């Protein structure tokens, strides 16, 4: 690994990552409830469309990090203050993939059966969305970490290749423009 420090996280990280799991185990749910999250909010976040890990691959952050510990990352890079670690899992071990893709490029959408992409409000932005008959699968995984002195803090993890963050006024004008251009070419997927 590029940076050998341990990976740390907290309940906010786990809550954010609910959107990337198809199923979360009872211990993780209880951990969130013990820290003040209610079941309705947990269920709502589990239902957010997006790239999702299959339950046979990971059902919480601990099981996800254990999977990553079994192989070496295929790429790592730093972008906008974060370390990105990319992994590709063996298709022989995971013939059905490690999860589904909830976002793909406009170019890749052409190979799927889908409706015409439409702009919809998503996380405060007008972004392209399309309904597909079947979500594409992937064996790729990306971890995004904030490097610290004693650990790398997990910001997010998702099935699929590295992506740029949604545009934000917190970013430099140049990086924000790069993010806008990237997201103009991406499509959020849902099942038809």
- Convert the pLDDT of each residue in 19-71 to its tens digit: 999 999 999 999 999 999 999 999 999 998 889 999 999 999 999 999 999 99
pTM: 0.91
* Residue of 85 and 191 predicted with greater confidence: 85
- Residue 142 pLDDT: 98
Mean pLDDT of the 145-167 span: 95
* 153 pLDDT tier (thresholds 50, 70, 90): very high
- Residue 5 pLDDT: 86
pLDDT over threshold 50, residue 91: yes
Measured in whole angstroms, the distance separating CA 109 from the mean position of its chain's CA atoms is 19
């Amino acid at each position: 690994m590029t940076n050998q420090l341990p990976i740390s996280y907290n309940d906010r990280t786990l809550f954010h990552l609910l959107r990337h799991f198809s199923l979360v185990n009872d211990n993780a749910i209880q951990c969130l409830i013990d820290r003040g999250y209610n079941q309705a909010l947990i269920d709502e976040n589990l239902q957010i469309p997006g790239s999702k890990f299959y339950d046979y691959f990971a059902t919480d952050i601990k099981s996800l990090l254990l999977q990553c510990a079994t192989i070496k990352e295929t790429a790592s890079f730093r972008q906008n203050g974060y370390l990105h670690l990319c992994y590709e899992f063996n298709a022989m071990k995971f013939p059905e993939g490690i999860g589904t893709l909830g976002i793909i490029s406009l170019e890749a959408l052409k190979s799927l059966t889908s409706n015409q992409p439409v702009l919809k409000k998503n996380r405060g932005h007008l972004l392209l969305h399309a309904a597909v008959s079947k979500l594409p699968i992937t064996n790729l995984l990306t971890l995004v970490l904030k490097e610290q002195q004693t650990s790398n803090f997990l910001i997010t993890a998702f099935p699929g290749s590295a992506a740029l963050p949604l545009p934000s006024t917190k970013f430099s004008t140049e990086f924000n423009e790069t993010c806008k251009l990237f997201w103009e070419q991406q499509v959020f997927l849902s099942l038809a």
